[in-house]
Structure formats: C-alpha cells, structure tokens
Copies of this chain bind each other. A is one copy, B any other.
Amino acid sequence: MTPPPSSSSTSADAAVTGTPEPVDAPAGTTAPDDSTLPKKWSRIMIPFVRPSIEGGIWPIKRSVDESVDVRAGVVVDSHEAIEVELVVTDPEGETTIHRMTPEENDEYSGRFEVTELGRYAYTVRAWLNRFATWQDQFRRRVAGGEPHEELESELQAGVDLVRAAMENADGTDAKKLKADLEAFEAGDEEAAMGEGIAARVRRNAPHDMMVESQTYEVIVDPKIARSGAWYEFFPRSTRDDGKHGTLDDAAERLEGIRDMGFDVVYLPPIHPIGVQHRKGKDNAPTAEPGDPGSPWAIGGLLEDGTKGGHKSVHPDLGGMEAFDRFVEKAEDVGLKVAIDIAFQTSPDHPYVEDHPEWFHHRPDGSIRYAENPPKKYQDVYPINFENEDWPALWTELQDVFQFWIDRGVTIFRVDNPHTKPFAFWEWCLAELRKDTPELIVLSEAFTKPKTMYGLAKLGFNNSYTYFTWRNTKDELTGYAKELFHTDVAEYFRPNFWPNTPDILHDFLVHGGRAAHQLRFVLAATLSSAYGVYGPPYEHVFNHQHPDREEYAKNEKYEIRTWNWDDPMSLQDFMGRVNAIRKDNPALQQMRSIRFHETKNPNLIAYSKKSGDNLIVVVVNLDPHNPQEGQLDLDNGALGLPHDDAFIANDLLNDTRYTWRGQHHYVRLSPDRPAHIFRLEQEGQEHEVFERPVHD
C-alpha cells in the first residue's frame, strides 16, 4: 500500500509558513519549552509546488527519459536574496540538487530527467543567501558613492559571511575563499563585488533559515506505457479450418502483427473456461455442444481431470508450454505480451470448491452468481473482497499477477477494476512494483470519470477512455483538452481504442472503410498510447449485434476464421500509421497537443511537437463526403517561419506541399480521410529524429 508520501507533519512546535518543516532553528536562544513560540521557524514561504496531485497525496507519472518540469512559488519577507533548489532522489536513493531559476511573479522553475524505472522523489527547498543580499547592497553603496570609510566598514560585514562559507568548503573553493577573505580584510572592494566569489560562497554557505516543501513523488514507467500500440486478438481464432486454435497457431500471427508496427499483443483470458451455465454463441443463455464459451468465465477442467483457474492455461490453447513458447516467440520478434486479468470465476473454478468463503452467499448458503436485477449471469461468480478471509484472498490474487510476471509477462489488462475495492488495487499494484517497476496495468473501467481517474491515481498506468464514443470535432477536442491539458495528464495515461470485443460503435457500422481508417488515425495520433481489437478492424468487419452496440458473431462466444492475407485489409494502412508514429517523437507523447482552426466542423486538425519534430494531423470526420477547409496555423507558437516557405510532407499519402504563411487549403475525401503532415524547414527534411522526448 502507499501511504501519502511524507505528508505534512503536525508537530506542534514548527511555525510552518506554508511549508511543513523549517529545517533549522534560528540562531541563538531557543524558545522556552513552556511558551507557545515556535521551536523552528523560517522567513521563507513555499506556497505551492507543481506538478502535484491533490497536494501530493498521489504520485505523478512519467516514463523513462522524460523530464519533470517543476515550478514553485517562493517568497521571503523584505528584500533578502534566496536560493531555491530542487532536490531529487532517484529510485536507488541517490540525491541530486538542481538550482532553480527565478521566473515572473516569484515563481521558480527547475527540471530533472527521469532515466530509471521506479519512484523518484522531489522536494523544493529554499534558504537565505545572505552573501547575495550583502553583495547587492554593497554594490549599490559603491554606485551611490558612499565614502570610503563607510564602505570599509560595510566590507567587514561581509567578512563573516565569507568565513562561514570557507569553513564549510574544501578543495579549490576552500583555497579561493581563503584568498577572498584576505582580499576582504585588505579592503578590496572589487574582489567583494565579483560573480566568482558569489558562486563560491553560495556553494559553501550554511543554508540559513532553510525550509523544505513536502516531498512529491513521480512513478517512472517504461516508455511503452506512454507510446505503446496495442493489438488485441483471440488466439483460438487463428486457424483457417475453423478449429480451436492453440497459442502455437496464434504465434504464427506475431510476425504479421510486428510488421504492422504494433508493440504489444494483448490476449483475452487464456484460462480454462467454465462448463456450468456456459454461454452460447452471441451470448445465448445456453451453450450448444462444441461452443467454446467466453474466456471471461474463468476456471474449468484441465486435461488431467483437475480444475484450473487463473494460474493455468486452457488445454485447447495448448497449455502452459504453448504459452511459454508464445511469449518466447513474441520476444524474438520484438513484441510484448499482455494478458487479461479478470477477477471473477465460473462455477467450475477451483476457488469455488477450495474457498467457498471467498464468494457472496445467498441466505440459503448457495453462492451468489452475478446479478444486476432483474438480469442474472449464472455463468459468473463475483469474488467477495470483503469476506472474513480477505487477507488470504488478496494475497492469492496478488500472486496471480506474480505467477505471470514470473513467466515473463509484465503488461496486464485488468477487467472491470472498478468493481473491486480501490484499496485492493492500491496495495496490490504498489507491492508488485517493488520488484517489477516495469509493470504496465491497463484499467478497463468504462465508468464514472472520478472512478476512472481514481484508479489511475492509485496505480493503474494505462486506462481505457471514452474515446470510443467521441466522434464529433467538439467531442474530440473537448475530451482531448480534459485529458492532455489539465492535471489529469499528470497521472492518467489514456489508451485510445476505436473498438473492443464489447464495443462496435454505430460510427464504424455506418461509416465503413473510411470510418475505420479515420478512427484509427485519430486513436493513433491523438493519444500516444492506443490499441485496436485487430481482426475485425483490419478486415472492416462491422456487422453489429441486432440489440447491442457490439459485434455480431462475437469472438467472445465463438471461434472465427480470418483471411490474414486479404489484400483488401487495412493491414498496410495500419502499418503505415504505426511506422509514422515510430519515426516521429512528436507522436510518442501527449501533452504538446494543440488544436487548429479549419473553418469546417468536419475537419479536425491538431499538431504535436517534440524538439524540432512538428506533426500536423488533419482528419475528415465525415466518412461519406469530401470536405474542404482552411487550416490556420499559429506559426509563431509552432516555430514556423512567418514569410519563408516550408514543406508540409504528408507522410501518410507521400505528398509534399510547399506552404507559406498561416492559412492553408486542405481537402480530404473518404478514400483519403487523413493527412499526417511533418512540417519541415529548409534542410530539415532528412534529419533523423531520435532526440529524447519531453512530454
């Protein structure tokens, strides 16, 4: 579990002035014990530090090689000079100190790079730089023409400050400060005013009246948490002959998926499937003989007659050995494997027999199946996380993750986390990360925004979103701004999916191929993490269930065959988009996104920028008609020339345009639903963009 990181002390003897802990007591007398006077106090306030989530209760998130830009407001009474420093502790406990830069309005800025997985901590501290104050006043005395004898006396006032620094110093600084001191004592005004001595004293001065902000944390995830492209498929639907595919059959698909440019293959649950109350095709209440059942009805018979649950592999998928081979093959071709964690059971799960107390019970003692009255789901038993034996249950469920981590899986998609206690996830994920900081956990919570954001705060580092239902320009723009331009961006990593086995939106049903293409471009470029439920998407299979916004002939309940070599598929298109993502750091991060006017509500346009890499995406949201408009760019903000020409290189359609100024005609049609422009200036076209990305 994660107690709030070093939250404010309530020690009754510190006058806090906005910061929990003045570090030093003031010089001289200590306040008597029986007085109300503060034992420690400072003249400095640090009113707020950003980024921080709810005052630092929750850590922010970054991925490896990103930076954290810290801002703090710091004030001191009177006109004293202060030093403001950013103290950063890396996951190994190594501490570095960065001097912060004064900005407007008493704000200070500092930056650190996060290069290791795990938890970093950052604190802002500030102390009085008495020598700088003295030096400023002394310079003004000299400029104001004070008489020599007065200056000499003031010079002596600096001696103590230099001596104090000298006593702390060693090496070159100590030697030079000794010389400084001698110059001072000899009345050398010039020496006293220099920048060199200021730096030497600053480096070694006692940190007078220092205060520290509370400590904030950042969890650093693998880069793929930020920029992963996910591909979901059912491993049993990978044969041509309609038979149940194994993980070895599925492994045959890995090179194709890699060639499409994906990073992660995500498999629905791979465990044995319950037989009791098994659902039939299209979620029919009763299965016909031969129906394979839903993989989310977890737990059933193994080949050896025993029961298997969350730590076993369906015999028809080839068992654990086939899984190990699948993971190995994936690694060989350069893909990560993600599996599904759904904490619920079929009536055939071994937990039911071994731990009946882990479930809900009806008054007659029978185990409660899942219900949303009057609907009943007899094939699924929810787990009772509050049962009297909860410590054993929680420990076992955490061990489910650990079991698969030990088999090489570090990416998980968690089914319905919002129906399990928040406290469970907070504890479980924090514990797992202690040994597995590379853990990626995708929250499948299509629920209330505060719950979705809450799960992200307490440990999920990828999250499904409402993107699937956001189709108009206003909807997309508003949602993107909420996700990428508010504090949400500090802890919630949206993973955009245009479809899932549970969701086939009307837009895809009615918009056909063009809709599939344009929604794919949006998913892959609005967020930097995205995924697609691949087979029906790439084959533009969009038959909807008559009653529900989901696929007909749903693979959740039956085995399908797909023509992987169909020349009409979107595989090449998807591959092209992913290649562009890989080549352009601007598309591997989220927060720089900026929306641009197009003068047409059907044309959405946005840019992303990372270093010199500047991408502008224009998408026609109308899958039925051509649309034209005028793209307005803010050349100043984007770093584009105001008068000179620049190149708009459409990486998707291999076309180069020469643009000038801020207004550009754009036209897109259903057979070409998007531009992904790289804007290039003279001589920049052939650069390779491999600089680190600052999100």
Which A residues form the contact surface with B (CB < 8 A)?
1-4, 6-18, 20, 22, 26-32, 35-38, 41-45, 47-48, 54-58, 73, 75, 77-79, 105-106, 137-138, 140-141, 143-146, 153-154, 156-157, 209, 362-364, 371-374, 385-392, 394-395, 418-424, 426-427, 431, 448-451, 453-454, 457-458
Complex CA distance for A11 and B3, rounded to whole angstroms: 7
Complex CA distance for A75 and B453, rounded to whole angstroms: 11
Q: Chain B's nearest CB lies how many Å from the CB of A53?
A: 9
Q: Provide the residues of chain B in CB contact with A426, threshold 8 Å.
A: 15-17
Complex CA distance for A4 and B16, rounded to whole angstroms: 8
Q: Provide the residues of chain B in CB contact with A154, threshold 8 Å.
A: 362-363
Asked whether A143 and B38 contact (CB < 8 A) given A77-B422, A105-B449, A458-B18, the answer is no
CB <8 Å contact, A10 and B14: no
Number of this chain's copies in the assembly equals 2
Determine the residue in chain B with the shortest Cβ distance to A13.
B1
Q: Chain B's nearest CB lies how many Å from the CB of A465?
A: 16
CB <8 Å contact, B28 and A374: no
Complex CA distance for A449 and B35, rounded to whole angstroms: 33
Determine the residue in chain B with the shortest Cβ distance to A386.
B26
Q: Provide the residues of chain B in CB contact with A423, threshold 8 Å.
A: 15, 17, 22, 38, 41-43
CB <8 Å contact, A454 and B75: yes
Q: Provide the residues of chain B in CB contact with A392, threshold 8 Å.
A: 29
CB <8 Å contact, B106 and A362: no
Complex CA distance for A424 and B362, rounded to whole angstroms: 63
Asked whether A17 and B458 contact (CB < 8 A) given A78-B419, A386-B27, A394-B37, the answer is yes
Complex CA distance for A329 and B77, rounded to whole angstroms: 38
Q: Chain B's nearest CB lies how many Å from the CB of A72?
A: 10
CB <8 Å contact, B391 and A57: no
Q: Provide the residues of chain B in CB contact with A387, threshold 8 Å.
A: 28
Asked whether A390 and B15 contact (CB < 8 A) given A10-B7, A423-B38, the answer is no
Complex CA distance for A604 and B653, rounded to whole angstroms: 54
CB <8 Å contact, A363 and B156: yes
- Which has the most chain B C-beta neighbours within 10 Å: A154, A374, A423? A423
CB <8 Å contact, B37 and A448: no
CB <8 Å contact, B395 and A35: yes
Complex CA distance for A4 and B57, rounded to whole angstroms: 15
Q: A17-B421, A35-B395, A36-B431 are in contact. List 20 more A-B contacts (CB 8 A).
A: A1-B15, A2-B15, A3-B12, A7-B7, A7-B8, A7-B10, A7-B20, A8-B57, A15-B426, A18-B54, A29-B389, A29-B391, A43-B421, A45-B422, A54-B55, A77-B419, A138-B373, A141-B374, A153-B363, A209-B386
CB <8 Å contact, A144 and B3: no
CB <8 Å contact, A35 and B391: yes
Q: Provide the residues of chain B in CB contact with A15, threshold 8 Å.
A: 1-2, 423, 426-427
> Can you sample 22 A-B contacts with CB below 8 Å?
A3-B10, A4-B20, A6-B10, A7-B7, A8-B8, A16-B426, A17-B426, A17-B458, A18-B58, A22-B423, A27-B388, A28-B390, A31-B391, A32-B391, A36-B431, A41-B421, A77-B419, A105-B449, A106-B450, A141-B374, A146-B373, A154-B362
Interchain CB contact (< 8 A) of A153 among B36, B140, B362, B389: B362
Asked whether A57 and B431 contact (CB < 8 A) given A363-B153, A423-B22, the answer is no
Q: Provide the residues of chain B in CB contact with A44, threshold 8 Å.
A: 422
Q: Chain B's nearest CB lies how many Å from the CB of A54?
A: 6
CB <8 Å contact, A388 and B3: no
Complex CA distance for A8 and B214, rounded to whole angstroms: 12
CB <8 Å contact, A388 and B29: yes
Determine the residue in chain B with the shortest Cβ distance to A14.
B3
Q: Chain B's nearest CB lies how many Å from the CB of A558?
A: 29
Interchain CB contact (< 8 A) of A144 among B26, B373, B419: B373
